[in-house]
Amino acid sequence: MQKDYCKSLINHIHRLNGQLTTLAGYIENERNCDDVMQLAMSATKSFDSLKSKVIEAYINKEIICDEKLSFGKTRKFQKMLSLIKT
């Protein structure tokens, strides 16, 4: 992975960690359920986004950039990536 892209992933992980720390605080301080659920859902979406970015990076680096891969297979992987992002 490129250095800038890795830095972007690390920043994403730090933001997610902050959300989880805040969520733990909400639970410890017995915040209302609406606040806890909203933050939990936000953290879940953030983790899903991180997961998609890692999968995308892997597919781009290890599969699509493979010179032996046919054009048709490359297009299939690109279509799969677009589905993962949605």
User: Tens digit of pLDDT for each residue in 27-67?
Assistant: 999 999 999 999 999 999 999 999 888 888 887 777 766 66
Mean pLDDT across the chain: 86
Query: How many structural domains comprise the chain?
Result: 1
- pLDDT score of 60: 75
Q: Which amino acid is at 78?
A: Q
Start-to-end Cα distance in the chain = 22
Give the least confident one: 9-13, 44-48, 74-78. Answer: 74-78
Domain, as residue range, for 53: 3-85
CA distances from residue 13 to 9, 28, 45, 49, 64 in whole angstroms, order as listed: 6, 22, 13, 10, 25
pLDDT band at 1 (very low <50, low <70, confident <90, very high): low
- 66: CATH: 1.20.58.1000
For 25-41, b/e burial (b = at least 16 CB within 10 A) is ebeeeeeeeeeeeebbe
Give this prediction's pTM.
0.72
